[in-house]
Structure 1
Amino acid sequence: MEIKNSSVVTEFILLGLTQSQEAQLLVFALISVFYLIILPGNFLIIFTIRSDSGLTAPLYFFLGNLAFLDASYSFIVAPRMLVDFFCEKKVISYKACITQLFFLHFLGAGEMFLLVVMAVDRYIAICRPLYYSTLMNPRVCYALLLALWLGGFAHSIVQVALILNLPFCGPNQLDNFFCDVPQVVKLACTDTFAVELLMVSNSGLLTLLCFLGLLASYAVILYHVKGHSSEGKSKAISTCTTHIIIVFLMFGPAIFIYTRPFQALQADKVVSLFHTVIFPLMNPVIYTLRNQEVKTSMRKLLSQYVIC
């Protein structure tokens, strides 16, 4: 992606998460634990689904892609953040800032669309089981996967295009620990009202509509399973509950950040930390802990390659 901008700003200074040394050490330790324990767990989920011929249903196909998206997403912000903890002056170049922003929204939107696809998959499996094998065949699954990647790219490229047209002539201090739309737009040397409105429509409104649509779809599914057998009802409710937890973890912070005017609040950095670092690593783990088939397959895999 070629970046052209006539602004005089060539780098941004990140003010970081906090100025407290104790708080920085605590966050550093927390993120390090997540990377050392939960990130390998995400790759284990992917390897388990890929290696077990019994986990070929679309649900597991999408779960493996969710783990891949979340693992990739966690590499955008956290590694640089960990390095910056030991730097007195946290500097990021203009090009690196735009690149970080692009991949943040590219993968974030892709995951958002993936959750929508997973909701559609569960709706068809529970409410239209006779048509499930026809509607959710491998070709359709790969087409949906391609569509969500293209959707994420389209969403992100719009964000980047709007920012590249803004002039930046100083100041260049970003009051955050990474580059994101609200903070970058506020540094532009021009009136950004129209751009902010477009950004809120592109990110905030889209996120809110997907969130409400997902909640409505799971409400329909839960209503539909009332007449099922006890075993079928219990499994459907467990699956939907897991999905709803992930929906709130994913969409809650995004709605808080992107559906309001770009004005700094005290909670912004904490919400952004959980949104960009903590929750992405936890999402696939939450799915796995509530999925008996994946847990059984994972135990077999570990006993085969580790214990033996």
Structure 2
Amino acid sequence: MAEVLVYVDHVDGDVRKPTLELLTLARRLGDPVAVYLGAGVDAAAPVLAEHGASRVLAADAPEFADHLVVPHVDALQAAVKAVSPAAVLLTASAAATEIAGRLAVRLGSGIITGAVDVAAGEDGPVATQSVFAASFTTTSRVTKGVPVITVKPNATSPEAAPAAGTVEPLEVGFGPLATGTSVVSRSPRAATGRPELTEAAIVVSGGRGVGGAEHFALIEALADSLGAAVGASRAAVDAGWYPHTSQVGQTGKTVSPQLYIAAGISGAIQHRAGMQTSKTIVAINKDAEAPIFELVDYGVVGDLFDVVPALTEEITTRKG
């Protein structure tokens, strides 16, 4: 069976959920081989094995932590040479997408970015993308070289499929560009206790209808009752009600959760482009003519100041 390389996204050995999704998708194409770069492989290997990694190619060097992007490209290029894979899968994060692009150029291969599904085809992997602000769905495949594909988080649900997960050393030679950009300092991001916005299975977002920064507590309470991430529309962010890092939309972050709840958001195309691929969409808006209702699975016409607290209370009661 052909092997498929999966680039592991992790934080000091804590494997992030999108990587487990990639392993699940990789099993459709062949035998997953995880590429783990940095420290902490001993903690990560059992998790990777549980989700189908037959092998874990591991390398650790100061370059991975002290320099940006290029050392990871060097390592993935070495992994491709060692394995001759049927495809290389990465998450569609900003950093991984840059890594994917550089890798494809080095390999002389085609690349597909931001896929929402990957399946086996007669002539190689077939990727599904949502394009033009999610107005169209396309299927495509790479016709030259080793397919390099980035996949959006929540494209599938991680499924366990225990495999050997044998850890093997990956020999990496770093090129002259590897140390061209250095990390000179790091500042930890304040922890909210909520999942990362782009990876969350559930997202609750607030918009102009929230009416002010102080009212975002209602959105946060609903999100916390569901174990969800909090998002915001561009209007809410531009007004200074919520941080830009939480903006969902064409000029913010693209999310594709299992459940997306939009409260007080009219549904302008800028926002829709960032969340239209969500599996189930629920909107709460007092304007029955709001454009957001054109794409929802469930719509509630009502004042969010009445609906959101009632919904939060009901969810909390049922959980209790």
TM-score (norm 2): 0.22
TM-score (norm 1): 0.23
- The higher-RCO structure (CA 8 Å, 6+ apart) is 1
